[in-house]
Amino acid sequence: MSDIGFKHKIKSKTYAEDLDAKFPGFKSEFSIPTIGALGANNTDPNDTRESIYLCGNSLGLMPNSANAAVQAEIDTWSKQGVTGHFRRQDKREPWVTIDNPVSELLAPVVGAADASEVSVMNTLTSNLHTMFAAFYKPTAQRFKILFEKKAFPSDNYALQSQCQMHGLDPNETLILLEPRSGEYTLRTEDILAKIEEEKESLAMVFFSGIQFYTGQFFEIEKITSKGKSVGAIVGWDLAHCTGNVPLELHKWEVDFAVMCTYKYLNAGPGGIGAIFVHKKYANDNRPRLAGWWGNNPFTRFQMLDYFDAIPGAAGYKMSNPSVLNTVCLRASLEIFQKAGGVKALRLRSLSLTNYLYDLLVQSDYYRTIEESNLGSVTPGFTIISPSRPEERGSQLSLLFLPIGKGLMQHVFSKLEQKGVVGDERQPDVIRLAPTALYNDHYEVLEAVDILESSFVSFSD
């Protein structure tokens, strides 16, 4: 089929609807914001049409069941007070064990051997510090941390502060790996080569599973294996992976991982975080940041003077988890279970993002990376996410050209006004992430049509 014929085919409503019939989703399980409620400039606050929400990589939508789940906890608090910790009139999980069934649901999402390898606790960056306190043990020879340059800023701040807390200079401790000139993503071969080059001095390899800016899905298994082969601890920030792509953390022998739950896991703004700790560390009793909720639950309320860690990831808990946040996460994880898990959803995710990619590269405004490196004069965009589906999650990152001319801001504003929700990241990138649980192919088609139309009204 010619390029023109292919473009005509994929831009048809029938084609998109056929894909939706082939890959049905779970949109009815979620609350979809209306265009009016979003409150963008020049929109009618009474517009009740559903938005096209392509921002699950930033904040997932609310499961409908979360409302009742939260209300049940509020009701128990109101009616029972402190006794809700140990017994419930409504027969729901007592607060003292509120996170146990959630860990059971989370374990298969990340490929844990069982629930003992995961713990629902804290938030993302605090969990990062918790894991580094336990696993980062620099010596005079082994003290360096291999890390991606331009990782999410909070990770960067955390790692710098970890270096400083150990009396180390971050400039000498952090090895910041960046893409080759003219490229936007890291090559696995370059990561493995750097691990080999620094093998005598590496204490830790710590990367994002999916890079927040480009959407690159790193080869976790290969990088973990190489890092461990040179004697380094290997940890991962899985904020953009969890609930987005299949993971096999136990099988891959990842030492530890941290994750948030407000993105693809739809647990709500500021949602509770989680950790993974490999089973081989279950009983090693390493020094850690300890607290009473990580203590043996059978002696926890005896208020003993010594810490008796729960075996596994739960032994890293410090305080009791937020009940309201925890039940929001459970509401979403129950939908994942109903959908057949992340592996089943990955098929739909690939279809959605591949469709978005195909539509975008057929646009008259699309530029290849090579063309963009030459310096674009006419308005357009390139895609800085990997072109190979297996090297990305649901997110595509669009870089608008020429850089610094206000095109990205113009397009973003037009998308908002038409009810398309993505997010912007400087410099000049809009991230669009069709989410397997609640987006559909026809929405993707509409979003690309709106994006293309926004170029018509641009004037630099």
Annotated binding site for pyridoxal 5'-phosphate: which residue ranges?
Answer: 124-125, 152-155, 208, 237, 240, 262, 292, 320
Full 3-state SS string of the chain: CCHHHHHHHHCCHHHHHHHHHHCCCCHHHECCCEHHHHCCCCCCCCCCCECEECECCCCCCCEHHHHHHHHHHHHHHHHHHHHHHCCCCCCCCCHHHCCHHHHHHHHHHHCCCCHHHEEECCCHHHHHHHHHHHHCCCCCCCCEEEEECCCCHHHHHHHHHHHHHCCCCHHHHEEEECCCCCCCCCCHHHHHHHHHHCCCCEEEEEEECECCCCCEECCHHHHHHHHHHCCCEEEEECCCCCCCCCCCCCCCCCCEEEECCCCCCCCCCCCCCEEEECHHHCCCCCCCCCCHHHECCCCHHHCCCCCCECCCHHHHCCCCCCHHHHHHHHHHHHHHHHCCCHHHHHHHHHHHHHHHHHHHHCCCCECCHHHHHCCCCCCEEEECCCCCHHHECCCEEEEEECCCCCHHHHHHHHHHHCCEECEEECCCEEEEECCCCCCCHHHHHHHHHHHHHHHHCCCC
| Phi, psi dihedral angles at 401 (to 5 degrees) | -125, 145
Q: What is the per-residue burial (b if ≥16 Cβ within 10 Å, else e) of 161-187?
A: ebbeeeebeeeebbbebebeeeebbbe
CA distance 214 to 152: 11
CA distance 254 to 248: 9
Residue type, 103: S
Residues at the binding site are 124-125, 152-155, 208, 237, 240, 262, 292, 320
CA distance 299 to 307: 10
